[in-house]
Each structure stands twice: as structure tokens, then as C-alpha cells.
Amino acid sequence: MTHPSLHARTSPDKIAYRMAKSGDTLSYGKLDQRSNQGAHLLRKLGVNTGDHIALLMENSLAFMEICWAAQRSGIYYTAISRYLTADEIAYIVKDCGAKVMITSAKCADVIAPLAAKEDASPVFFMTGQPRPGFRSWDDEVAAQPTTPIADESAGYDMLYSSGTTGRPKGIKRTVTEPSILAPNPFLRLLCEKMCGISADSVYLSPAPLYHAAPLRFNMMVGVLGGTSVIMENFDAEEYLRLVERHRVTHSQLVPTMFVRMLKLADD
């Protein structure tokens, strides 16, 4: 059994997630508190076990806080690409049955017309300073208790295919283990047993968190008690600097990123 909430008890000040450019950090203690607060807010909004929420956000600490709030609430969370059109986003939000939609100032323009409708559904939130039509995620979360909800259970991501054969299709996994302390067995095999990620690891995440592999690797690093350094966006030279600066032990990249690094001057 392993989970960020357990690491929060033994190493509350250890950094769980760090943003590469801003340097902002989220300790295991703060992650536990904020994910508990997020779980309480979701329950207050009527989002219960087996329900869905959706996120449209850039890489950020808030992104991880929200995912962990859903994970400990038995909720499916759908991360949506910020580069989709308004129609594509609206389709995914409706198709997954999201009761709550959370975005940021950077990503809000594309869904602002949806949030402005009188019969707007789901409930629209924004991190940071909210615009008209959006409720404040930060303010409402801050008003919630930092203790766990009474009915904790494991939630999962529900991500969508690229839609190359028509509309994107959601991939919904069946809940096989209700305890939040039991990691996904396949991801544990991949990340811990095969890749050797542990509490001593520093994982560098260079890709958008709405993609499956980056999101799941970052979640597993939190499960296993390591530290993730999350790049706001990928830059080949900056990636190499970060490897050296943070003494990175693990990372997950796609071929395009290797190509960009190989095109750099030798020095």
C-alpha cells in the first residue's frame, strides 16, 4: 500500500511536484491538504463516487492537486487538450458526463461561451481570478476542511483517443480496487518494477499533462514518494539543463523530443 497521503505523514515537507520554470513547489503535506479540500468541495457539489469531472488546463501544480482530489474521491477525471476547438471540447465534456469543468485563465477563452450560457452545464470553475460565468476554484477549495472525506475510494483518469476514426472516444477503466492506497497494478509494474522509480527518484516531465503517459507517470511518482519536475512547455536545451540542475533519474519522452535534442549544437 502506498499513496501521497502516507508520504505526507512521514515526509510532509518533501517536494512532490515542482514547476521547472517558475520554481513553484508542492510538498506532500500541502498536496494531501489541498487534495482533501478538493475532495470535500466535489462532494459538496454533488460529485459522488463514479461521477466525472473534466479539466482544461496548462501544466501546473493546480492540475495535479485536482487530479489527486478526484483520485481520493472515487471520481473519473478527464484531462482535455488545450489545443482542441470549442466544439471538440464541448463534445468531450458532454460525452464523459462531467458534472464539474475546471479551467484556468490561460485556457478559458475557448470555453467561455459555454460557461456564459444561462443553462450552463456542467458547473464551470476557474483557477486564479475567475471571469464572469466561472466560479472560483481556489476560493471554494480554501473554505473546505483539510481532513479526508468520509467515503474515500479510488478514482481514475478517463482520457480520450485522438479521434482519427471519428469523434474522440473515452477510455473508461473498471474500478478493480476501491482503496486509494492500492496503486494500479500495471502502472506499478511499469514504473516501479520495470523503470525503478522510487522515493529516491527525481522524474522530469516534459510533455503536456493531458496526455496519458505524462499524467500517469506523474501520478505514479506521487504514489511512490518521489519528486516530479514538470516543464511548463518543452524546450530541448532547457530540458538538458534541468536534467543536470535537478539530478534527474527518470524521464519519459517521445521521439520528436529526442530529434530536437539531437539537432542541438554539441556544446
- Range 177-182 average pLDDT: 90
More confident residue, 184 or 262: 262
Taking the CA atoms of the chain, what radius of gyration do you get in angstroms? Answer: 18
Residue 163: pLDDT band with limits 50, 70, 90: low
pLDDT score of 3 more than 90: yes
Which residues does 143 contact at the CB level (< 8 Å), separation at least 6?
none
* Whether pLDDT at 47 is above 80: yes
Q: What is the DSSP string of 113-130?
A: HHHTSTT--SEEEESSSP
Q: Please report how the helices 255-262 and 236-245 are oriented relative to each other, as an axis angle in degrees rounded to 10.
A: 90
- Mean pLDDT, range 81-95, rounded to an integer: 92
- β pairing state of 98-103 and 52-56: parallel
DSSP 74-97: T-EEEE--TTS-HHHHHHHHHHHT
- Angle formed at CA 57 by CA 51 and CA 61, multiple of 5 degrees: 95
Tally Cβ neighbours within 10 Å of residue 7: 23
Q: What is the mean pLDDT of residues 85-89?
A: 91
In terms of average pLDDT, the best of 19-33, 119-133, 152-166 is 19-33
Residue 8 pLDDT? 98
Least confident of 55-64, 89-98, 177-186: 177-186
Q: Is the pLDDT of residue 216 over 70?
A: yes
> What confidence tier does 118 reach under pLDDT thresholds 50, 70, 90?
low
pLDDT of residue 161: 83
Residue 176: pLDDT band by 50, 70, 90 thresholds? Answer: confident
* Eight-class DSSP state of 14: S
pLDDT in tens, 119-156: 768 999 999 999 998 999 999 999 999 999 999 999 99
pTM, two decimals, is 0.95
In whole numbers, what is the pLDDT of the chain averaged over residues?
Answer: 94
27 neighbors 16 (Cβ within 8 angstroms)? yes
Neighbours of 166 (CB within 10 A): 7
User: C-alpha grid cell for residue 62?
Assistant: 493546480
Average pLDDT over residues 247-267: 96
Q: How many CA atoms lie within 13 A of 87 on its CB side?
A: 1
Average of pLDDT values for 189-207?
97
Distance CA 31, CA 68 (A): 8
pLDDT of residue 217: 97
**Phi-psi map region of 199: left, alpha, beta (phi>0 left; psi -120 to 50 alpha):** alpha
- The three-class DSSP label of residue 215 is helix
Q: Which residues sit opposite 53 in a β-bridge?
A: 77, 100
Under a CB-based contact definition with an 8 Å cutoff, are residues 248 and 229 in contact? yes
